[in-house]
Structure 1
Amino acid sequence: MSSEEYAECLLENKHHEDCPGCKVDQMKRLRRGFPFWELCTVWIIVLCTALPISSLFPFLYFMIGDFNIAKKEEDIGFYAGFVGCSFMLGRALTSVIWGIVADRYGRKPVILIGTASVVIFNTLFGLSLNFWMAIVTRFCLGSFNGLLGPIKAYAMEIFRDEYQGLALSAVSTAWGIGLIVGPALGGFLAEPAKQYPSLFSEESIFGKFPYFLPCFAISIFALLVTIISLWIPETLHNHKSDDDSSHDKSFDALKDPESHQASERNEETSLLKNWPLISSIIVYCIFSLHDMAYTEIFSLWANSPRKYGGLGYSSADVGSVLAISGFGLLIFQLSLYSYAERLLGPIIVTRISGSLALVLLAFYPLIAKLSGFALTLTLNCASVAKNVLSVCAITGLFILQNKAVRQDQRGAANGIAMTGMSIFKAIGPAAAGIIFSWSEKRQDAAFLPGTQMVFFILNVVLALGVVMTFKPFLAETQEEH
């Protein structure tokens, strides 16, 4: 009997009729062809959870102004930062809990709760009557939307081995697209009674709640995703058998002897002692802090008046820029990123992307001195390039994290990464809002006046992340030694 035939027998022997995980394993073993349905499902679920994260930034400046909580216009950024960070604070406090729930009760319940939370709390955020209601609804949205970690484990479990790389790419790409398309929707659909007076009247609900339409549109999409998710299979095994572990080890050894030997050597290794994993998570957190701060600062900078060094853009103008950025990012991720990653490796891609972003950000304050077509063209090109570089860096670190651990540790590893990332992303908007507000009050400073200071601090954080991609800090994954 060949090794492949023996492996098939092992799979047959350990199959349990009432176990959803076993049914998925059988489905993967028998299925041939491209997993189009599974890929689309993972894509829309990740997109659903990513859209509301930054969709508020194009209109947050105006929303805070309407709440009349800021005494001066320069203080708007200060309050905007707290609304922006409340989502990530909620996610940071609950990511590990949702990971435990997913490991105990299944991936599917966590996914359904996460998508349903977008329907409920994102809708309520759009109907916010005051500053504190906005903070509470965003905090609840982050607290109940803990599916990003479990969906990574689900993506690894629902695909056959040859498509698992594609699954990870789908997760990271959909996440990046969501962080771009979300703000674009926020920019295009906010204040519809002013932007589209022929379609929406001031007396309608969209006139009385000018920031409800973008939230409502995302919530409708989330409702459709929730309904579709009712039909996805559960991948968690619900049985425990004495001989499962020996069968698993035998099958893994036949499928990949070298990986099995590495797994045996590291079987007792704690995730917290796995330096390739921990180092990649730390660098991931630094880049995430920078990206979240940049996302908020970009919209605040574009919306703020020219006299404060901003661009004087409306929310629709910001939405147009971000829509173009999202389209450019999608084209790059689907066509060029995989080639770059295979050619250079994830570490080099992350390092080069971060270095190029440093140079690009240094020129951002000069963009505000342009006007007309030159401003539009330059800003769009800079935004596309910056977002492409950011997602390239994050995707490379995401690959490193998943290669640093065994398959049975990926759920816990992603939970740790999610918690760390959420903490840093919670700090990002709050710090960015405070720094932006402070910078607008120092227009005549001798050293880095106005928004020059904001982009300088962004570059300092990014430079720290780039330095950390070098040895001895960022270690190679265990399997590559």
Structure 2
Amino acid sequence: MKSIELERLGATSFGSFSDNQTGLMTAFAGSNEGRNLLRRETSEDDLGINSEYKLGLISGLPEYDPLPKLQLATILVIQAAEPFSSTVIYPFINQLISDIGITGGDEKRIGYYAGLVESLFYLTECMCILQWGRLSDKLGRRPIVLTGLFGLALSQICFGLSRNFSSIVISRALAGALNGNVGVLKCMIAEITSERNRPKAFGILLIVWAVGSTMGSLVGGTLARPAERWPGVFEGSFWVGYPYFLPCAVAAGFSAGCFVLAYLVLEESLQTKIKKIDNAEYDLLPLQSPSTPTSTRPSHTHVKLPAPSIRAILTPRVISAVLNYALLGLLDIAFLVLQPLFLASPPLSLPPPTIGTILGVVALANGLFQAMFFAPLRLRLGTRNIFVAGMASFIGIFGTFPWIHWIVERGEGEVTAGAWAVISLQAILYTTSCLAYGCAFLFVTSSAPSKHTMGATNGLSQMTISFMRAVGPAAATSLFALGLERGIMGGKLVYLVFGGVAVAAVGATALLPKEAKSLELGEDIGEEDDEP
């Protein structure tokens, strides 16, 4: 008879099995109970390999479970709405600030106001997103997602119609306050996947974020001031008076389309809400006979749970995961706001269409790289090692800014081939840094104390990273402007400060576990099965 040998895995106690026994073992391994047992019985130290790969070898199952394609695709399309809306203003925000005249013609002060506008989205998101996450634990994920998409569409229209600084501030703040989707959508991905295919799903999420950022950058850079670029098509006083309405309207239209998609296709993923619906449908069934067995009733009973408290989720694992995610967000947003400001300022002084193209190409190439290489690199190198490499890349990223500046100054303002080469190197380093996002998602998701705190845990992480993304643009652009105004370190103060933050962030990775491992979301620690 055929047998499966486990001695090559160092699991000699399993011995060998017959065909029938092998089939039973494989079926058992595919169940939640089997997976949990295999996790307990075969540790990483015994096998020396990642748990997902290990489980596939023992059970004879494929390396990944099949992904729920329709629901995952729907969530990913919806997820693209936020990076689209948040990045569409980047190519033209400096020109917009200059146009409204709030700086009094002093170009060195543009950084202060541009940073404030870019920070407002994340500041108000920080203030509200934890409550959106807790509310999604109580009301369900779907209604929160629909509310967020409506808020994005409305705020983008308001931004495009803004003609003074106060209305710009209000519309940008509204966008962040009404948007609770980032954490909720990550919860939904975690809830519709298993530990075996979750890394692959989060790897795909990275390309979606990159595609959304690409669309936002290209739309913002290409469609701004259409009356000047295509006077024969966009003629009339409206397009002259509202030169940035068109890119904002396209972003609003995308959010509106995602709203329709979510309303028609997106299904609820919160288990307590699903169980409530299942029981309600059972109660509506006609009575068959007095002798109908009671066991036909759905075994899961809905228990109305209160929204989890903040204290319940502040475990050491959650704190370390959220801290590292927040530092990643701070460094990332600082680079994203400094890059267009740096490219638009002397000595480079590139126009918005060129800046938009650079940002779009970098974002698209980054997304493709993440989708193709994140999952295999994580399996080979480990979650924490990839995260450390990503954080360390920011040291080089901030170091390339002075290098580019020196090359262009030396060439008397001409962006030479050498400058483009260093810009390309910066893009490669940024692509490496973005590998850390997939790892951060996994660390945060796996740190949740139970399935009932998934929304609150992700809400806490998004609140923290939103705060960092609010502080980051204001701090980065203010340091940029301060360095230029006062000539501190030749205008390079901001790069030294954030290079130091990157070094500290690499040190903080020591707080993370080696791998992002958790129980399946269908079970809680210490929770009894609710079947009679």
Q: TM class by shorter-chain length?
A: 0.7 to 0.9
Q: What amino acid maps onto 2:177 in structure 1?
A: S
Alignment partner, residue 284 of structure 1: 325
Residue 328 in structure 1 maps to residue 365 in structure 2 = yes
Alignment partner, residue 425 of structure 1: 469
Moved more, 366-375 or 287-296: 366-375
Residue 403 in structure 1 maps to residue 440 in structure 2 = no
Output the CA distance in 1 between the equivalents of 2:263 and 2:422: 42
Alignment of 1:42-53 (within 5 A): 42-53=75-86
Residue 167 in structure 1 maps to residue 204 in structure 2 = no
Residue 364 in structure 1 maps to residue 404 in structure 2 = no
User: Which residue, out of 415, 424, 434, partners 2:459?
Assistant: 415
Contact 1:297 1:432 in 2 (8 A): yes
1:438-472 C-alpha deviation (Å, 9 max, x unpaired): 111134x5xx211x2221122112111111112xx
Alignment of 1:57-456 (within 5 A): 57-71=90-104, 72-159=106-193, 162-201=196-235, 203-231=236-264, 232-236=266-270, 237-238=272-273, 271-306=312-347, 311-368=348-405, 369-370=407-408, 371-374=414-417, 377-378=420-421, 380-405=423-448, 406-443=450-487, 445=488, 448-450=489-491, 452-456=492-496
User: Which residue, out of 70, 80, 96, partners 1:37?
Assistant: 70
Q: What amino acid maps onto 2:170 in structure 1?
A: V
SS at the partner of 1:469? helix
Q: Structure 2 vs 1, CA of residues 278 and 190 (structure 1 numbering), >3 Å: closer, same or farther?
A: same
Shift of 1:480: 8.1
Contact 1:177 1:329 in 2 (8 A): no
Shift of 1:290: 1.4
Q: Structure 2 vs 1, CA of residues 348 and 476 (structure 1 numbering), >3 Å: closer, same or farther?
A: closer
SS at the partner of 2:480? helix
Moved more, 428-437 or 398-407: 398-407
Contact 2:67 2:193 in 1 (8 A): no
Output the CA distance in 2 between the equivalents of 1:305 and 1:269: 47
Output the CA distance in 2 between the equivalents of 1:90 and 1:304: 28
Contact 2:207 2:368 in 1 (8 A): no
Moved more, 164-173 or 356-365: 164-173
Output the CA distance in 1 between the equivalents of 2:74 and 2:127: 27
Output the CA distance in 2 between the equivalents of 1:375 and 1:192: 33
Output the CA distance in 2 between the equivalents of 1:281 and 1:160: 21
Residue 460 in structure 1 maps to residue 500 in structure 2 = yes
Output the CA distance in 2 between the equivalents of 1:144 and 1:382: 37
Q: Structure 2 vs 1, CA of residues 358 and 126 (structure 1 numbering), >3 Å: closer, same or farther?
A: same
Q: Structure 2 vs 1, CA of residues 204 and 164 (structure 1 numbering), >3 Å: closer, same or farther?
A: farther
Q: What amino acid maps onto 2:267 in structure 1?
A: P
Alignment partner, residue 509 of structure 2: 469
Q: What amino acid maps onto 2:493 in structure 1?
A: M
Contact 2:331 2:498 in 1 (8 A): yes
Q: What amino acid maps onto 1:93 in structure 2?
A: M
Q: What amino acid maps onto 1:456 in structure 2?
A: L
Shift of 1:411: 1.7
Contact 2:112 2:478 in 1 (8 A): yes
Output the CA distance in 2 between the equivalents of 1:108 and 1:156: 15
Contact 2:313 2:457 in 1 (8 A): no
1:19-77 C-alpha deviation (Å, 9 max, x unpaired): xxxxxxxxxxxxx9653322321111110122112221221111111111113221111
Output the CA distance in 2 between the equivalents of 1:160 and 1:213: 41
Contact 1:39 1:170 in 2 (8 A): no
Shift of 1:390: 2.9
Contact 2:98 2:110 in 1 (8 A): yes
1:229-261 C-alpha deviation (Å, 9 max, x unpaired): 1121122333569x9xx9789xxxxxxxxxxxx
Q: What amino acid maps onto 1:324 in structure 2?
A: V
SS at the partner of 1:145? coil
Shift of 1:86: 0.8
Shift of 1:84: 0.9
Moved more, 140-149 or 393-402: 393-402
Contact 1:119 1:219 in 2 (8 A): yes
Shift of 1:384: 2.5
Which structure has the greater CA radius of gyration? Answer: 2
1:126-172 C-alpha deviation (Å, 9 max, x unpaired): 11111011111010110001111111121223346654333333334
SS at the partner of 1:230? helix
SS at the partner of 1:57? coil
List alignment gaps of at least 5 residues for structure 2.
1-23, 34-64, 280-294, 302-308, 409-413, 520-532
Length, aligned pairs only: 426
Output the CA distance in 2 between the equivalents of 1:40 and 1:380: 33
TM-score relative to the length of structure 1: 0.81
Contact 1:271 1:277 in 2 (8 A): no
Output the CA distance in 2 between the equivalents of 1:283 and 1:213: 37
Contact 1:181 1:326 in 2 (8 A): no
Q: Structure 2 vs 1, CA of residues 322 and 442 (structure 1 numbering), >3 Å: closer, same or farther?
A: same
Root-mean-square deviation over aligned CA pairs: 3.0
Q: Structure 2 vs 1, CA of residues 168 and 478 (structure 1 numbering), >3 Å: closer, same or farther?
A: closer
Output the CA distance in 1 between the equivalents of 2:465 and 2:431: 19
Q: Structure 2 vs 1, CA of residues 439 and 133 (structure 1 numbering), >3 Å: closer, same or farther?
A: same
Q: Structure 2 vs 1, CA of residues 378 and 152 (structure 1 numbering), >3 Å: closer, same or farther?
A: same
Q: Structure 2 vs 1, CA of residues 382 and 216 (structure 1 numbering), >3 Å: closer, same or farther?
A: farther
Shift of 1:104: 1.6
SS at the partner of 2:91? helix
SS at the partner of 2:486? coil
Q: What amino acid maps onto 1:323 in structure 2?
A: G
Q: Percent identity?
A: 24
Q: Structure 2 vs 1, CA of residues 38 and 94 (structure 1 numbering), >3 Å: closer, same or farther?
A: same
1:386-421 C-alpha deviation (Å, 9 max, x unpaired): 431232122222211112234443222101101111
Contact 2:136 2:144 in 1 (8 A): yes
Q: What amino acid maps onto 1:125 in structure 2?
A: F
Q: Structure 2 vs 1, CA of residues 198 and 158 (structure 1 numbering), >3 Å: closer, same or farther?
A: same
Shift of 1:430: 1.2
Output the CA distance in 1 between the equivalents of 2:165 and 2:120: 12
Moved more, 390-399 or 44-53: 390-399
Q: Structure 2 vs 1, CA of residues 214 and 386 (structure 1 numbering), >3 Å: closer, same or farther?
A: farther
